[in-house]
Amino acid sequence: MQIPWFSSTENSLIKSGRPFVKMHGLLNDFVIIDGRKEPYRPSTKEIIHICDRHEGIGADELLIVEPPKHSKPYAFVRIINPDGREVEACGNASRCIGWLLLKECNQKEIQIETLGGILTCTLVGEKQVSCEMGKVKTHWQDIPLSQEMDTLHLNIGTGPLNDPVGMNIGNPHAVFFVEDLDAVDLPKYGKALQTNPLFPEEANIGVAQLIDSETLKLSVWERPGTLTTACGTGACVAVAAAHRRGLTQKKRMTVIMPAGSVEIELKEENIAVMTGPVEICYTGYLV
């Protein structure tokens, strides 16, 4: 397979712009741009345009690969939401960019640096990647919350969603457990919970149903305000939240989301490892 940072051998009508790769992980899609040799610092207006599904390429996030800031990681990756806000982590994005860079360097394992920390990505199948996403944090200041509170039982809620678990794995999450996920109209309640004053940086809102001791069903309302087909960090914290609540003792669980499933393993010190699929959609050039 040719390295996806395609060269002049790639067929295209336009070759004068900056090349990009469009990928998705469980339909959570990304525009990926290599900014290592030629730095790329788009304006907020440009980011919004690129991610717009009508006027631009369309993406849940823009990923920019940059030189590493420390000696050990292979690259630094900026993760930018479609509103132009840079975020610390994204599980599906980590798998996609991990696969791309693993193919580029022809290695089985590499480390990638993000605002949220250093991730270890391992190729476990042709288009299957495991990412060690780091430690799931539970202290109220690490989430962060606007006031001290027991993060195992956050005092917020609306409609059928109450008593969530608060966590952070590079980005803030609140996980609600329900008996019947299909009966929950998450778009009706997601925005109000996401922007609750308890979350000074807002929060991703997960709603989880325990199917059995090894399986969770999950839906996530994601910052800046969308119901996502899949959320890798959301899957990690949902499993960790189930453990904290005593709903399961299993260290490895399958998390089923609207677009498919990922495997989550909790290791020592609450470190989460996520394994799931990636796909290349197409390549092109920014003009």
CA atoms of 25 and 227, how far apart (whole Å) = 15
Decide if 121 is catalytic: no
Decide if 236 is catalytic: no
Can you name the residues that pair with 283 across neighbouring β-strands? 21
Sequence-distant (6+) residues with CB within 8 A of 37 are none
CB distance 62 to 129 below 8 Å: no
CA atoms of 287 and 276, how far apart (whole Å) = 32
The DSSP annotation for 12-81 comes to -S--SSEEEEEEEETTEEEEEEE-SSS-----HHHHHHHH-TTTS---SEEEEEE--SSSSSSEEEEEE-
DSSP state of 202: -
Strands 161-162 and 226-228: unpaired
Token pair 């904290």 in the structure block, residue: 244
Q: Which of 51, 96, 121, 231 is catalytic?
A: 231
Question: Would you state the structure tokens that stand for residue 64, as one six-digit string?
Answer: 């920019």
Question: Would you state the structure tokens that stand for residue 34, as one six-digit string?
Answer: 């290599």
Q: Which of 51, 90, 96, 236 is catalytic?
A: 90
Question: Would you state the structure tokens that stand for residue 45, as one six-digit string?
Answer: 């207006």
Element (H, E) at 189: helix 186-194
CA atoms of 138 and 141, how far apart (whole Å) = 8
* Catalytic machinery residues: 90, 231
